[in-house]
Chain A
């Protein structure tokens, strides 16, 4: 048992946990942030994706202790002031989710993908970038559409600001 401290969704948090505790369980059990999900045990489905120090990672394959001192962003921290993030809004507008279980990981993945590629995303790139996220409901059709829509929207916003 050790006290693990990190910044989660802009807030300093700390909790006692076993060294074997995974980051995803730390978030879900210790911090009651249950939006991050576990859908497999082989680091493949991506339902657990969060951002650690600005990069998307699989929280099911990182110890909470490894993440100590880092800055974590989960699905719960993405919207600001009640307004959904453009990626969240695009998923809603384009029916990019059905059962919702893979959705937090998909959204966090999409945000990271758009951060790296900007508005230059095309369908083939989006599909390749979704390699680490499995959805069983949507056939990915509307997820791809949502991400492309969000990228265009966010790219447009960036250009307008420049």
Chain B
């Protein structure tokens, strides 16, 4: 490892622009003639639109144009779609209701867009939007998935009777039933996974620019995957053909899944730019973000976990109802199915597993992937259940887990996945040592003397990253392949540009991807530029989500580097009259092994471009591209331990220590990996302790529509974290990387809730464990 190579904690190349105010986010963009958009949105959770009267609004100062859904439909702009087909257990396809970018018949959640106002200033656009008179026929609304399935509830889409989108299963139901019937002990629980709002700090924004001379569109947008945005807007929404649409995702201020999807606003602003003849910029405010960004989680499950007399898990049966909101967002169907039920084996050898998942329409904003996407739900369910089982069986939670760990690899679970490598015990041991697990009883006693209730809890998570082998996901219903692309362009002076289809919105790709080049060729990372986020500059790519940029995106870079290296060696061998197999590259030089013959990197690059003396038949230039399609998922895993102290008078939980022991395979930049874990844990703690989306069940109004009511984790809610790594390299990709972006959010919630329930002696507690809930739970058992 060099100082800037693989494994080095290199400070980030991108930091200076962010630290000096020179970052360029979508809302920072401004072009001549640009005007501002404000959306007229439904104030009702469910209503028929009777009429839209724009006459007064059109005469307001500064107004350039007001457009509605009928015009959008007349221009043949398509409905928003879900890109992953799921079939119900009876073989029928999922029931997808129409999601129009601008509703003109029915609105189905508070915030559903109805019209767009374009004006000289944002203030004027908003003034005029208030003057658009929409007459609604208000309908009853339903916000909870379990209730929406009941008879007599409001019906959202005619395509989906009883609001049921699909009723899907995975695994062997008979085998799971048999295991439960024959079990020495069965632990049964009802598990709720609370609904969350992703809240990247940069609100969504888009700038649509139509060039009438070229009949060409440019879309600046807050996207994790600009190419997918272009593909979907071209192929399905009929905004423009791909060659007439450039999508640019410049600096993006966090995503966490919520910026994967193509939302109505991008589509409408592009279309509105053509209709009004001006560039149109829309920037979401935070309340709009709460109302319209896809939410995450929102599952209600029942689980039965069966044990034999030796406390080995013999079977698992899960029934889950998942709320998908008012419409099916881009990947919504995949989250509670293939990203969830396929992880229900956890780190444990469970011979029989069956999962039944029903997804449901409700009058709430669509629900889709949010950091972890399905895997936090699976982990929370399993790790709460096994912890509860340990308490019921009177055994140590660590021992129960240890007894059931998978120990030989590859391991085929009963729910599709083939785990390739791991050492679960190593992380368990490391976490227990780091947390001084054995010293807990003394700490608990000391806390009790101060009148405080102390508890400790653990969670052993596994997740599937490196999404994903294209043929495999295709066979499971995905509408796209999930490979990644890279192009490595060596300039004539030896500097390098890497075009990647991955997109960095905080992950530090401009540094870590450059480290691959520094490692391979020994040239400084300052001589390497990572180019991403612009469909005009970068070849087709699939973007960043599901902790895939390292395992998949970097693997594509490695494949391209292999080709560049091979060609550079051929050129060097030719110039130095040596055998190609004797050429080695180190410290920015190409050398003939065992001799003093050497050529600096830049000279080889220059030779490739002058082309005066290349091997016979070789094309000039030094630029190679590659597409990498993974052969398997990757399986990061680890053990998290949380220790809490609870004030019984107020129910306040203080996290006194949080330990994370992770196996991410090989690591490119430990500093950045740790940063990812910190952030993930904070979001997991947020879910467990603070965050909850609350809709009024009577009328579907969003109560938690700002930071006044949605509790975001702040610095004083959190401790510093103790991290360690126990890495087993991933065998399926060239760098041995597993991925680290989501682990923290996946592993932490059950550790925290296990700790709190341990402290208070009441296992009946839902997330978020607010002071009021904890206080009530304490009083319920005292």
Secondary structure of the B contact surface, majority rule: loop
A141, B286: Cβ atoms closer than 8 Å: no
A98, B254: Cβ atoms closer than 8 Å: yes
B201, A135: Cβ atoms closer than 8 Å: yes
B21: A residues at CB distance < 8 A: 33-36, 74-76, 104
Q: Which of B19, B203, B683, B706 gathers most chain A CB within 10 Å?
A: B19
B706, A134: Cβ atoms closer than 8 Å: no
Contact of A37 among B202, B672, B682, B712 (CB under 8 A): B202
A interface footprint on B3-47 (CB within 8 Å = 1, 0 otherwise): 000000001101111111111110110100000000000000000
A140, B682: Cβ atoms closer than 8 Å: yes
B27: A residues at CB distance < 8 A: 34, 38
The answer to the question of A59 belonging to the interface, with a C-beta cut-off of 8 Å to chain B, is no
B508: A residues at CB distance < 8 A: 98
B671: A residues at CB distance < 8 A: 95
The answer to the question of B557 belonging to the interface, with a C-beta cut-off of 8 Å to chain A, is no
A92, B19: Cβ atoms closer than 8 Å: yes
Contact of A140 among B16, B22, B286, B718 (CB under 8 A): B718
A134 to B253, CA, bound (A): 13
The answer to the question of B678 belonging to the interface, with a C-beta cut-off of 8 Å to chain A, is yes
B678, A42: Cβ atoms closer than 8 Å: no
The answer to the question of B187 belonging to the interface, with a C-beta cut-off of 8 Å to chain A, is no
Number of interface residues of A (CB under 8 A): 57
A136: B residues at CB distance < 8 A: 199-201, 254, 256, 679, 682-683, 712
B20, A41: Cβ atoms closer than 8 Å: no
A76 closest partner in B (C-beta)? B21
B interface footprint on A7-38 (CB within 8 Å = 1, 0 otherwise): 00000000000101000000010001111111
Contact of A92 among B11, B505, B682, B706 (CB under 8 A): B11
Size range of the interface on B? Answer: 35 or more
Rounded to whole Å, the gap between the CB of B341 and the closest CB of chain A is 28
A143, B715: Cβ atoms closer than 8 Å: yes
B286, A41: Cβ atoms closer than 8 Å: yes
A18 to B21, CA, bound (A): 25
B690-707 residues with Cβ-Cβ distance < 8 A to A are 706-707
A42: B residues at CB distance < 8 A: 286, 706-708
B interface footprint on A116-152 (CB within 8 Å = 1, 0 otherwise): 0000000110111011011111111111110000000
A90 closest partner in B (C-beta)? B19
B12: A residues at CB distance < 8 A: 92, 95
The answer to the question of B136 belonging to the interface, with a C-beta cut-off of 8 Å to chain A, is no
The answer to the question of B114 belonging to the interface, with a C-beta cut-off of 8 Å to chain A, is no
B778: A residues at CB distance < 8 A: none
A124: B residues at CB distance < 8 A: 716
A139, B681: Cβ atoms closer than 8 Å: yes
Secondary structure of the A contact surface, majority rule: loop
The answer to the question of B721 belonging to the interface, with a C-beta cut-off of 8 Å to chain A, is yes
B18: A residues at CB distance < 8 A: 97, 100, 103-104
A98, B679: Cβ atoms closer than 8 Å: yes
B712: A residues at CB distance < 8 A: 134, 136
B671 closest partner in A (C-beta)? A95
The answer to the question of B92 belonging to the interface, with a C-beta cut-off of 8 Å to chain A, is no
B685 closest partner in A (C-beta)? A139
B288 closest partner in A (C-beta)? A41
A44 to B285, CA, bound (A): 13
Known pairs A74-B21, A141-B721; A41 contacts B716 (CB<8 A):
no
A88, B19: Cβ atoms closer than 8 Å: yes
B17: A residues at CB distance < 8 A: 100
The answer to the question of A64 belonging to the interface, with a C-beta cut-off of 8 Å to chain B, is no
The answer to the question of B451 belonging to the interface, with a C-beta cut-off of 8 Å to chain A, is no
The answer to the question of B507 belonging to the interface, with a C-beta cut-off of 8 Å to chain A, is yes
The answer to the question of A65 belonging to the interface, with a C-beta cut-off of 8 Å to chain B, is no
Known pairs A76-B21, A79-B20, A92-B16; A100 contacts B720 (CB<8 A):
no
A48 to B167, CA, bound (A): 46
The answer to the question of A45 belonging to the interface, with a C-beta cut-off of 8 Å to chain B, is yes
A141, B720: Cβ atoms closer than 8 Å: yes
The answer to the question of B714 belonging to the interface, with a C-beta cut-off of 8 Å to chain A, is yes
The answer to the question of B479 belonging to the interface, with a C-beta cut-off of 8 Å to chain A, is no
B interface footprint on A70-104 (CB within 8 Å = 1, 0 otherwise): 00001110110000100010011101011111111
The answer to the question of A107 belonging to the interface, with a C-beta cut-off of 8 Å to chain B, is yes
B289 closest partner in A (C-beta)? A40
Known pairs A39-B201, A139-B679; A98 contacts B256 (CB<8 A):
no
Known pairs A74-B21, A84-B19, A136-B254; A99 contacts B675 (CB<8 A):
no
A39, B286: Cβ atoms closer than 8 Å: yes
Rounded to whole Å, the gap between the CB of A97 and the closest CB of chain B is 6
Contact of B507 among A98, A123, A134 (CB under 8 A): A98
A105 to B720, CA, bound (A): 21
Contact of B714 among A75, A84, A99, A130 (CB under 8 A): A130
B14 closest partner in A (C-beta)? A100
A33 closest partner in B (C-beta)? B21
Contact of A98 among B675, B683, B707 (CB under 8 A): B675
B202, A75: Cβ atoms closer than 8 Å: no
Q: Which of A79, A133, A139 gathers most chain B CB within 10 Å?
A: A139
Contact of A99 among B505, B681, B683, B715 (CB under 8 A): B505
**8 extra interface residue pairs, beta carbon distance < 8 Å, beyond A35-B23, A127-B716, A134-B201:** A38-B203, A38-B285, A40-B706, A41-B706, A84-B20, A92-B15, A99-B505, A139-B744
Q: List 13 A-B contacts (CB under 8 A).
A: A39-B203, A40-B286, A40-B706, A76-B22, A88-B20, A92-B19, A97-B19, A98-B507, A100-B19, A127-B715, A140-B714, A141-B682, A141-B721
Using a CB–CB distance below 8 Å, which chain B residues touch chain A? Answer: 11-12, 14-25, 27-28, 30, 121, 123, 199-203, 251-254, 256, 285-287, 505-508, 671-672, 674-675, 678-683, 706-708, 712-716, 718, 720-721, 744
The list of the 10 closest CB pairs from A to B, nearest first, reads: A35-B21, A100-B18, A101-B253, A139-B682, A99-B506, A98-B506, A139-B678, A75-B21, A130-B715, A34-B28
